[in-house]
Amino acid sequence: MSEKRLQKAIDTLKESGVRITPQRHAVLDYLLNSMIHPTADDIYKALEGKFPNMSVATVYNNLRVLREIGLVRELTYGDSSSRFECNLTEHYHIICQSCGKIVDFHYPSLDEVESLAEKVTGFEVSHHRMEVYGTCEECQQHETQKH
């Protein structure tokens, strides 16, 4: 599955005239296979063994290029570091208030909110974003063990 998505992403890069460097390929591959919505630092740490000359700045530059052509989405929540994802289908996020883990979930009927908002306000809606906050199972277990 992710091989097909990686090939599609590489085709998009080619169509955009963006050079496919080994680092860019690795960042994209890592994001496609990551369920954790990593920060740039997470990506750097995961790839530094494979690319010892790569800096955090290189990772940020690659993420910026991938974001600009629409292959990567940057998630900013509160004042914590931006997180990145390659899942560009419409979905929502639930965020752990303890460890910061972000998990995707789908809820198609929320799309009705956009048309309702347009009707009620007269705005032309471009998109919406919803976050749900709570405590993940691991943090709940950790909390239970502490008490």
Give yes or no: residues 7 and 50 share one domain. yes
What value, to the nearest 5°, has the Cα angle with vertex 7 and ends 102 and 50?
65
Which structural domain range is residue 98 located in? 92-146
Residue bearing the bigger pLDDT, 108 or 126? 126
The single-letter DSSP state of residue 48 is T
Quick: pLDDT tens for 58-93: 999 999 999 999 899 998 876 678 999 987 777 888
pLDDT value, residue 104? 87
What is the total count of domains within the chain? 2
Contact indicator for 31, 86 with CB cutoff of 8 Å: yes
Indicate the pLDDT class of residue 122, thresholds 50, 70 and 90: very high
CATH number at residue 53: 1.10.10.10
Q: Which of 85, 100, 115 is the last residue of a domain?
A: 85
Quick: pLDDT tens for 24-42: 999 999 999 888 899 999 9
Give yes or no: residues 13 and 43 share one domain. yes
Structure tokens at 131: 């976050």
CA distance 83 to 76: 7
CATH number at residue 134: 3.30.1490.190
* DSSP H or E stretch at residue 95: strand 92-96
Q: Which of 56, 85, 114 is the last residue of a domain?
A: 85
The single-letter DSSP state of residue 105 is E
pLDDT value, residue 2? 63
